[in-house]
Structures are given as C-alpha cells and as structure tokens.
Chain A
C-alpha cells in the first residue's frame, strides 16, 4: 500500500476554504441557471384548461392585481395584498397580508376559488392544497415575463381574449419605444432604486437581469451593471466611481415624496462621474417603476423620454 503523503495542516485548511468557496459558487451558478428558465414554460405546465374560470379571486401581488383590473377582471377580486395601491378601486377591498405575512385564515374565510400568490410561498401553497383551493404561482423576472404572465393569468381566469389584447398592447408600446430610440447613442446608465436619503449609503441598483434592466435597455440605455447577473445589487461608492455611468436614473416610488429632487445633490460627492459632471442625474417618480404590471410600457416610455428627450419632441 502506497504511503499517503502527509499534507501540512495549513495546506489542508487552505483547501477546505477553497472547497467551501467553490461550493458557494456552484450554489450561485445553480440559482442563476434556475432564474433563466422562462416564466412562459412554467405557466405552460399549469395546464389551465383543467380549471374552472375563477370568479372569487384573491391577489396578494400588486402586479397581478393591476393585471386583473387592466384585463377587465377586477370585479372578480374579493381581496388583495397589503401592498396593493393601484388602481384606486383596491382601496375598497379587504387586505390579506403579503409575501411574508399571508393571513391564511382570512384568505380561507373569503372562500376564494383562486389565490394568486408568489411562487416562493411554499407554506401558503401547502395550506391551500390542504384546503383544496386553487392557486396561481407568480414569478417576476424579465420584461417578456410580464406579458407571458398576463396571457397565462387571463387564460386561467377565463378572460383570455382581453388578456391577449392587453399583452399585445404592452408589446406594441414597448416596440414603439424601441423604435423611437433606435439608432440613438446609448448612454451608459446606472439605474438606482434605493439609497439612504441625504447620503450615498446603501445604494440599491438594478443589475443585469430583471424587468428594470430590460426596461432600461428598451428605453435606449446601456446598463452599466449588465455583467452582474442579479436583479438588485448593493453598490459601494467605489463601484459607482469605477463604472463611471454617463447617466444616473434614480427611481422614487413613495407617495408624497417631496424631497426627492433636492436629494439628488447627494450625488455631487462623486464629482468625477460623467453623469454628475454633465448634470445627467435624473429623477423618475412613480410606483409603476417598481410594479412589473400593465403600466410597464408607459414607465419604459418615461425612461426613454428622460434618456433621449430629442427623440420625443
């Protein structure tokens, strides 16, 4: 039997660290691959034809609530989630919690025939399975997934024609925006959707996947973080300086936020960034920027108007 070479303790420890890091990295890769499978494929697996049309619907997701109203099925909603704000009619509906705190008792007491929930809410799914209540799992990813969701949801609740019309209208709206900005110089853009007021701490920006990234690309910008395959990235000021965006778009979506415009001054600390130097730090306000629903076409057009005002004269 060949003698086993003695590996020094330190070297073994180093290999353990390498193995741990590799394991973490492989986990991330698997997650990234999983995110690439399309929403349309997943909805196809739901086989909507085996369900009855839904008439007592609970939607705990703002995007799908908006979709139902936009496809003319808003009157079938019997309750919505805690975070639903649009359209105004949702204010009259009961609330049943949201992603982290769905109120199962309240949901069941409303006798829904369909609950639209987040795909990650496995506990809620199990409880609805036990209660024999049908559900529609929602996942938000890229821009094409929004219209795929609209089509699948319309099919599921029995308003397929209206849903197809809505999805086609959104696709057309996005196509028009792309056509308007086609051929224009595409500025390197940083799309920020959160930071601490008055400072540049905890900057949250759109990474290289997701509907915000897709909206930016459709609006004629080049995502300065396109290589980071995450929907959101927490950025340091150093990365902003190094990436040197030509435009910074800051999204604000809190209602009644009156300080947003003056708060853009915080960016002046990064004077060498071209966007700051050339006064191209832009503010876009509205909750439609963070709700991947039917207003996504209009939101993309607003983004395009900010990036390429000359194309919308």
Chain B
C-alpha cells in the first residue's frame, strides 16, 4: 500500500465519518441555508457534534502515531511510545491537578484542563530535554529510557496522591478524563492544538533520513555526517510537542502511539520517508474509525475511545503479524 493509498483511505474515512452516527441526519438539511442554524438539528449534529470530533481524532491520531515513530527510531526500542519519557503522564498530572483543586475555569473559551495538561507535558519535556543536553556523547539511550520510566512512575505516583486528596467526584472526573474523549464540542480546542501540532510535523518532516541512519546506531549515523545530538534534540522536542498537544486535546488515548507505527512498518517497510507520512495518515484514520465505533456501536452512552483503540487495534495488529510471519 502506497502513501497515495493511505491518503485515499484517510480521505474516504474523514468524509464519511461526519455523515455517520447514532442520530440519523439528512445531508440536504445539513446544508439547507433556508433553515436558521439555531433550529437546524441536523446541521448542529454535523457541525457542532461530529465535525470537530473527526478533526480532533485526525489531529490526535496523527500526532501520537508520528511521535511513536520518532521515539521508536531515536530510542532504538520497538516498545517506545509517546508515554515512554513520561510525557503522557505529565500531561495527565496537569489535568488531574486542575480537576482536583477546582481551578478548571475557562480561559478565552478554552477549558483550563487541556491548558494544564499541555503544561504538564511541557514540564516533562523540559526535564527530558535537560537530560538529553546533559547526556554525554556516546552515552547509551538506555539512560534516557530509564530516566523516562522513572519520570513516568514519579508523575504517576503524584497523580494517585493528588486523587486521594480530592473529593470522590473529582476522582471520578479525573478517571473519566484519563479514559480519553474526542467530543470536543467546539473548534476552539482543535484550532489551538493545530498550531503546535503543525509546527512539530513540519520539524519532523525534515528528519526521515536522519531517523533511517539513527535507527542503525548513533555511530553509523555520525559516520554519515549526521549531527546526532542536534537531530536528537529536534526529534525529542517535536515528538514531545506532538504528544503534549494530542493528550491535552483528547486525553491519554492508549495504543495508537505504540502500535500504529508497527502496523505501518509491516505495510510499507522501514524507510522513514514512507513510514512518517503513512503513520500520520493511518494514525488519524485509525482514530477516526475507533471514535466512530465508540459513538455509534455502544449506544447513547458511547464508550471511551481509548478502550476501542485497543479492542480494535490489538486483534488487527496480531492478524498482520501472523499473516506476515506464517
């Protein structure tokens, strides 16, 4: 499957997804300008409920998948994911603090929860960045990985501690947030997240050759003229911005960042000139499909999209593996 194939799939899914849902809507009514918007339920379902949700799914899915590719290549570890360096846990900590201590007032129409979540990821990024700078030339990526695991565990412990301090209703809200949700209900959050995500994707777009070489080892990359430390910082910062933006927009949605890169590699091979755009397209498409299932198949109450990603993606990944290696 080529990039064009992934692009076509993304296009079809993204056009179809807003048209499908638990409520039947008529396209003719959606775009009927003779009906005032305030009275047009079909238009509101389409433009207020579904379209921002699909856009959020594309942004979050693409960001997590691309961040996963970058982390796996730079850390030379197939188990690396956007959470490996503690970024998702940092973002979750920010959200939990705001929810538990009731400081979730809206700022310019944006809830303080995603803002705090992004700040939490930024703090985690700051620590990781400082570690990457302090890292001496030739030091194993194992050091960075271990530091990330420790940071993740530390933030996780803080999360639990803060939840214990809060009211039971706050704990309930925190847990709900941690399940992930793409029902953003407005375009403001989507637009605010789009800016850093777009900037980070542009930065990552300069990295395919470097990622190919670094995947073989730092020494091999340096022998080919790659400034590994500079490239590493750019990659870490870009992938971290992608992770922080994605988690602040949709919550800590599991699975996409670790498995989508592997699915894509099974299909297009290991060349990062193909893997990166394919992961961006397939990550977004995959999350749009998961969210479509979450909001249609499981009744009016729906299901957390994070549960669907693993339910759907797990068997699909295993099927790909078996097909490849049988």
**Interfacial residues, chain A to chain B (CB-CB below 8 A):** 82-83, 98-101, 193-194, 196-202, 204, 207, 225, 227-228, 230, 233-239, 241-244, 253-254, 256-257, 259, 263, 266, 269-272, 277, 290
- Taking a contact as CB atoms under 8 Å apart, the answer to whether B49 and A241 are in contact is yes
- Taking a contact as CB atoms under 8 Å apart, the answer to whether A237 and B185 are in contact is yes
- Taking a contact as CB atoms under 8 Å apart, the answer to whether B40 and A272 are in contact is yes
Q: How far is the CB of B308 from chain A (nearest CB, A)?
A: 13
Report the separation of the CA atoms of residues A197 and B113 in the bound assembly, to the nearest whole angstrom: 8
B132 interfacial by beta-carbon distance below 8 Å: no
Report the separation of the CA atoms of residues A266 and B184 in the bound assembly, to the nearest whole angstrom: 12
- Taking a contact as CB atoms under 8 Å apart, the answer to whether B49 and A198 are in contact is no
Give the residues from 178 to 197 in chain B that come closer than 8 angstroms, CB to CB, to chain A.
181, 183-186, 189
B45 interfacial by beta-carbon distance below 8 Å: yes
| Nearest residue, chain B, Cβ from A253 | B169
B37 interfacial by beta-carbon distance below 8 Å: yes
Sampled A-B contacts (11; CB under 8 Å): A99-B168, A196-B111, A199-B189, A201-B181, A201-B183, A202-B176, A202-B177, A237-B183, A238-B295, A242-B23, A271-B38
| Count of CB-CB pairs between chains A and B under 8 Å | 130
- Taking a contact as CB atoms under 8 Å apart, the answer to whether A198 and B112 are in contact is yes
Q: How far is the CB of A275 from chain B (nearest CB, A)?
A: 13
| Nearest residue, chain B, Cβ from A256 | B102
B167 interfacial by beta-carbon distance below 8 Å: yes
- Taking a contact as CB atoms under 8 Å apart, the answer to whether B169 and A197 are in contact is no
- Taking a contact as CB atoms under 8 Å apart, the answer to whether A198 and B38 are in contact is no
| Nearest residue, chain A, Cβ from B177 | A202
- Taking a contact as CB atoms under 8 Å apart, the answer to whether B48 and A270 are in contact is yes
| Nearest residue, chain A, Cβ from B181 | A202
Given A196-B111, A197-B106, A201-B111, decide whether A234 and B302 contact each other with a Cβ distance below 8 A: yes
| Nearest residue, chain A, Cβ from B296 | A238
B225 interfacial by beta-carbon distance below 8 Å: no
Q: Using Cβ atoms and an 8 Å threshold, which residues of chain A touch B22?
A: 238-239, 242
Q: Using Cβ atoms and an 8 Å threshold, which residues of chain B touch A235?
A: 300-302
Report the separation of the CA atoms of residues A40 and B324 in the bound assembly, to the nearest whole angstrom: 59
Q: Using Cβ atoms and an 8 Å threshold, which residues of chain A touch B41?
A: 241-242, 244, 272
Q: Using Cβ atoms and an 8 Å threshold, which residues of chain A touch B176?
A: 194, 202, 204, 234
Given A234-B301, A236-B49, A238-B21, decide whether A197 and B295 contact each other with a Cβ distance below 8 A: no
- Taking a contact as CB atoms under 8 Å apart, the answer to whether B300 and A233 are in contact is yes
Q: How far is the CB of B294 from chain A (nearest CB, A)?
A: 9
B138 interfacial by beta-carbon distance below 8 Å: no
Given A233-B300, A269-B48, decide whether A238 and B40 contact each other with a Cβ distance below 8 A: no
Q: How far is the CB of B107 from chain A (nearest CB, A)?
A: 8
Q: Using Cβ atoms and an 8 Å threshold, which residues of chain B touch A234?
A: 176, 181, 301-302, 304
- Taking a contact as CB atoms under 8 Å apart, the answer to whether A242 and B45 are in contact is yes
| Nearest residue, chain A, Cβ from B311 | A20
Q: Using Cβ atoms and an 8 Å threshold, which residues of chain A touch B302?
A: 234-236, 239
- Taking a contact as CB atoms under 8 Å apart, the answer to whether A228 and B299 are in contact is yes
- Taking a contact as CB atoms under 8 Å apart, the answer to whether A263 and B106 are in contact is yes
Name A237's contact: one of B49, B106, B110 (CB within 8 Å).
Answer: B49
Q: Using Cβ atoms and an 8 Å threshold, which residues of chain A touch B53?
A: 236
Q: Using Cβ atoms and an 8 Å threshold, which residues of chain B touch A99?
A: 168
Q: Using Cβ atoms and an 8 Å threshold, which residues of chain A touch B104?
A: 196-198
| Nearest residue, chain A, Cβ from B104 | A197
Q: How far is the CB of A285 from chain B (nearest CB, A)?
A: 13
Q: How far is the CB of B106 from chain A (nearest CB, A)?
A: 2
Q: Using Cβ atoms and an 8 Å threshold, which residues of chain B touch A225?
A: 300
- Taking a contact as CB atoms under 8 Å apart, the answer to whether B169 and A200 are in contact is no
Q: Which of A194, A233, A236 has most B Cβ within 10 Å?
A: A236
Q: Which of B22, B107, B173, B300 has most A Cβ within 10 Å?
A: B300
- Residue-wise, chain B 274-304 has the 8 Å CB interface mask toward A (1 for contact) of 0000000000000000000001000111101
Q: How far is the CB of B35 from chain A (nearest CB, A)?
A: 10
Report the separation of the CA atoms of residues A265 and B292 in the bound assembly, to the nearest whole angstrom: 28
Report the separation of the CA atoms of residues A238 and B107 in the bound assembly, to the nearest whole angstrom: 24
| Nearest residue, chain B, Cβ from A259 | B105
Given A242-B23, A269-B186, A272-B39, decide whether A197 and B49 contact each other with a Cβ distance below 8 A: no
- Taking a contact as CB atoms under 8 Å apart, the answer to whether A198 and B106 are in contact is yes
Report the separation of the CA atoms of residues A42 and B168 in the bound assembly, to the nearest whole angstrom: 25
Q: Using Cβ atoms and an 8 Å threshold, which residues of chain A touch B168?
A: 83, 98-99
Report the separation of the CA atoms of residues A146 and B83 in the bound assembly, to the nearest whole angstrom: 44
Identify the 4 closest CB pairs spanning chains A and B, nearest first: A198-B106, A238-B49, A200-B185, A271-B38
Q: How far is the CB of B16 from chain A (nearest CB, A)?
A: 16
Q: How far is the CB of B20 from chain A (nearest CB, A)?
A: 11
Name B44's contact: one of A98, A253, A272 (CB within 8 Å).
Answer: A272
Name A199's contact: one of B102, B167, B185, B301 (CB within 8 Å).
Answer: B185
Q: Using Cβ atoms and an 8 Å threshold, which residues of chain A touch B177?
A: 196, 202
| Nearest residue, chain A, Cβ from B189 | A199
Report the separation of the CA atoms of residues A222 and B40 in the bound assembly, to the nearest whole angstrom: 24
Name B172's contact: one of A82, A194, A270 (CB within 8 Å).
Answer: A194
Name A196's contact: one of B109, B113, B169 (CB within 8 Å).
Answer: B113
Report the separation of the CA atoms of residues A203 and B105 in the bound assembly, to the nearest whole angstrom: 16
Given A239-B22, A241-B45, decide whether A199 and B300 contact each other with a Cβ distance below 8 A: no
B50 interfacial by beta-carbon distance below 8 Å: yes
Give the residues from 18 to 44 in chain B that come closer than 8 angstroms, CB to CB, to chain A.
21-23, 37-41, 44
Q: How far is the CB of B279 from chain A (nearest CB, A)?
A: 26
Name A269's contact: one of B21, B113, B169, B185 (CB within 8 Å).
Answer: B185
Q: Using Cβ atoms and an 8 Å threshold, which residues of chain A touch B304?
A: 234
- Residue-wise, chain B 137-181 has the 8 Å CB interface mask toward A (1 for contact) of 000000000000000000000000000100111011100110001
- Taking a contact as CB atoms under 8 Å apart, the answer to whether A202 and B45 are in contact is no
Report the separation of the CA atoms of residues A225 and B167 in the bound assembly, to the nearest whole angstrom: 26
| Nearest residue, chain A, Cβ from B37 | A271
Q: How far is the CB of B250 from chain A (nearest CB, A)?
A: 10
| Nearest residue, chain B, Cβ from A81 | B168
- Taking a contact as CB atoms under 8 Å apart, the answer to whether A83 and B44 are in contact is no
